[in-house]
């Protein structure tokens, strides 16, 4: 499967970080830590919410 999707297997909040980690072969904990750091700096909150709305769930991609 290619493309970006929200993970349903390894999600904590919306599955965005886990989906990014799965897509690029990274550890989800590292992606979450980077996202948390960026959240504290004020960079990520709006981007994360947009990704949560725009990026499809893994099951939605598999249906097509």
Tokens of 47: 């981007």
Q: Where are the domains of the chain?
A: 16-63
Which helix H or strand E contains 30, and what residues bound it? helix 28-41
What's the pLDDT at 64? Answer: 62
| Model pLDDT for residues 1-41, shown as the tens digit of each residue | 568 888 888 888 888 999 999 999 999 999 999 999 988 98
Residue 61 binned pLDDT confidence (cut-offs 50, 70, 90): confident
Mean pLDDT of 33-60: 87
Global pTM reads 0.78
Residue whose pair of structure tokens reads 């390894």 in the numeric block: 10
13: helix, strand or coil: coil
Residue 6 phi/psi, 5-degree rounding, is: -90, 130
Contact 6, 56 (CB under 8 A): yes
């Amino acid at each position: 499967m290619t493309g970006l999707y929200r993970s349903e297997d390894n999600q904590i909040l919306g599955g965005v970080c886990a989906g990014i980690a799965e897509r690029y072969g990274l550890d989800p904990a590292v992606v979450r830590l980077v996202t948390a750091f960026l959240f504290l700096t004020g960079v990520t909150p709006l981007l994360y919410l947009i990704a949560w709305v725009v990026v499809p769930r893994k099951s939605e991609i598999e249906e097509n």
